[in-house]
Amino acid sequence: MPDIVASDLKRLRRLSKEGAWIVLGQASAVLGSLASVRLLTELLDPAAYGELALGMTVATVVNQTVIGPLSNGVTRFYAPAQERGDLGGYLHAVYRSVSIATVIIILMILLMIAGLVVAGRTRWIGIATAALVFATLAGYNGILSGIQNAARQRAIVALHQGIESWARFLVAAGLLLWLGASSTIAMVGYAIAVVPVLGSQYVFFRKTVPLNASAADKEHGWQQQIWRYSWPFGAWGIFSWAQQVSDRWALDLFATTQEVGLYAVLFQLGYYPMSMATSMAIQFLGPIFYQRAGDASDCRRNENVSKLSRRLTGLILAFTGAVFLAALLFHAQIFRIFAAKEYASVSYLLPWMLLAGGIFAAGQTISLNLMSQMKTHTMVVAKIATSSLGIIFNFAGAYFFGIKGIVAAIVLFSILYSVWLAAISMRAAAKPGTQ
């Protein structure tokens, strides 16, 4: 009995330490994001800030369709590779997969430039190219972070999360002061800031993640498994990307770029911090879920993961409700602290953006449960259908009600997304995991 108690205490101390590092990393990232809003809204007027927000939609396509899906697959298969003693083969497969993804991104950049030239939108080439470069470098960083997080190297992940968030806007602000207030300059600053963070991440990666080069010969088909697991993310990724960026482009179409800038600040102060705050729990529990599920062939292990997922979802929804009520009372004060006064006119919508972010985050925890059980294919229809409806909601909302309509559309989309995934999770709970 004393040995069991000592083991439990040791495990609790280890988990507490890991949790503390995750809180530190995510909190630093959130604070960096909030600080960036304050500083960049002082340096860029709403129209220029709107252009920057539109430029970021280009970066999002890389994350949603190429790097993001691959990163999910890479992270998920670290635990099985470790169990089989084949980290070398696994990392060899990761390297080859990232190389293929890089070629795809280069082709995307070339096609985008050609398309902008043909369309006569050459003024967008600079910011769009910078956005794609930024997304690619940030994606590499995300893959390294995913592997290190799966390896429970929490301190390293937290350190780089915080540094990247702050470095991004500080470098961008420095370039804006030096070269002038331009959305393109800000995006170039974002890309430049990621380079030293990526370099540092790689150095720590080589030191902390063991690699036996000769083990590549006994690869267990990791590349095929990673791609088979990841393809659903890419399949729905283009729809998710369209849904995520349609809010800004709908406002740009039916309103003005200035309105896009106002909305971008609202999104960054409401939806984004909520997603980041709740993702702390996901980042902490993700590797634990994957380790407990293993290769997802044991129903008892899967049920254990499902129970944890349900508890986490409930906690996130309760936290969302509390934050929503607080924002109803203090939205004006929050905007006075974190944004320039030109943006205060939309502060009353902040509680609803927080609500949308929290509900969507609850859906993501349900998604994590299905990912742990190798059931990514079960989410394809739901992801595509809800994203398609979300696009319709966004354009209808922007057309009839402007920013208010967009906020209502995002709340509606988040509810639909979470409820649909909950239904899928309940149906799939008793089935063994398959890819």
Q: What is the pLDDT along the chain (435 residues), one digit of tens a residue?
A: 454 445 545 555 655 655 566 666 666 766 777 777 777 878 887 778 787 887 787 788 888 888 888 888 888 888 788 878 778 888 888 888 999 989 988 998 888 888 888 888 888 888 888 888 988 998 898 888 888 877 767 777 777 777 887 888 888 888 888 887 788 888 888 889 889 988 888 888 877 666 554 444 345 688 888 888 887 777 777 888 888 888 888 888 888 778 888 888 888 888 877 777 666 666 666 667 777 766 666 677 777 777 877 888 888 899 999 999 999 999 999 888 888 788 888 999 999 999 999 999 888 888 877 777 777 778 888 888 999 999 999 999 999 999 999 999 999 999 999 999 888 888 766 554 444
Alpha carbon distance 98, 94 (integer Å): 6
Residue whose C-alpha is closest to residue 150's, from 306, 298, 289: 289
Rg (CA), the chain: 21
Place of tokens 């294919």: 377
Q: What is the pLDDT of residue 351?
A: 94
Residue 297 pLDDT: 66
Coil, helix or strand at residue 235: helix
Instruction: Please say whether the dihedral angle defined by the alpha carbons of residues 59, 60, 65 and 68, taken in this order, is positive or negative.
Output: positive
Dist. CA 310–CA 320, nearest whole Å: 15
- CA–CA separation, 75 and 70 (whole Å): 9
**Cα-Cα-Cα-Cα dihedral of 161, 331, 365, 279, to 10°?**
10
- In whole numbers, what is the pLDDT of the chain averaged over residues? 80
- Encoding tokens for residue 120? 């006569």
Q: Following DSSP, what letter does each residue of 356-404 receive, concatenated? A: HHHHHHHHHHHHHHHHHTT-GGGGHHHHHHHHHHHHHHHHHHHHHHTHH
CA separation for the pair 363, 416 (Å, rounded): 9
Q: Which long-range contacts (CB under 8 A, 24 or more apart) does 141-145 make?
A: 141/194, 141/197, 141/198, 141/201, 142/63, 142/67, 142/68, 142/71, 143/67, 143/70, 143/71, 143/74, 143/94, 143/98, 144/198, 144/201, 144/202, 144/205, 145/201
